[in-house]
Amino acid sequence: MNTVYPVRLFIRNKARDKLLEALGGNPSEVSLDGSLLWDVTNTLLQPTTSPNLYRPYPSRDLAAQVEEQTADEIASAYIRIKQQATNPLVQRLNQLL
């Protein structure tokens, strides 16, 4: 029986595509914070954060479901962080740092 692992590169690309779609759809009109996306992605792809990425699945379909779910989590976290960054309270607290 062959086993399949989720592919992190697929997850990164899916998350980026989901963000582009959520933020306007046209890559030439949407500006993603590459550094933030990299940090969020790296954090959520760690074995301690996403252990499901590091276990084998009996089919490509099951591994793809995990990829899709993880890409959704990355996109949601990125959007949440960007929204919080525009919050006046968060901006004032950042100024105090």
Convert the pLDDT of each residue in 1-10 to its tens digit. 689 999 999 9
Q: pLDDT tens, 24-75?
A: 766 666 688 889 999 999 999 999 999 999 999 999 999 999 999 999 999 9
Q: How far apart (Å, rounded) are the C-alpha atoms in residues 33 and 2?
A: 38
Distance from chain centroid for Cα 52: 15
What are 57's strand-pairing partners? 4
Q: What pLDDT is recorded for position 25? A: 66
Residue 21 has pLDDT above 70, yes or no: yes
**Whether the Cβ atoms of residue 6 and residue 55 lie closer than 8 Å to each other:** no
Q: Which pLDDT does position 40 carry in this prediction?
A: 96
**Distance in angstroms (rounded) separating the CA atoms of residues 59 and 43:** 26
Structure tokens at 97: 């740092």
Q: Per this entry, what is the length of the chain?
A: 97
The model scores a pTM over 0.75: yes
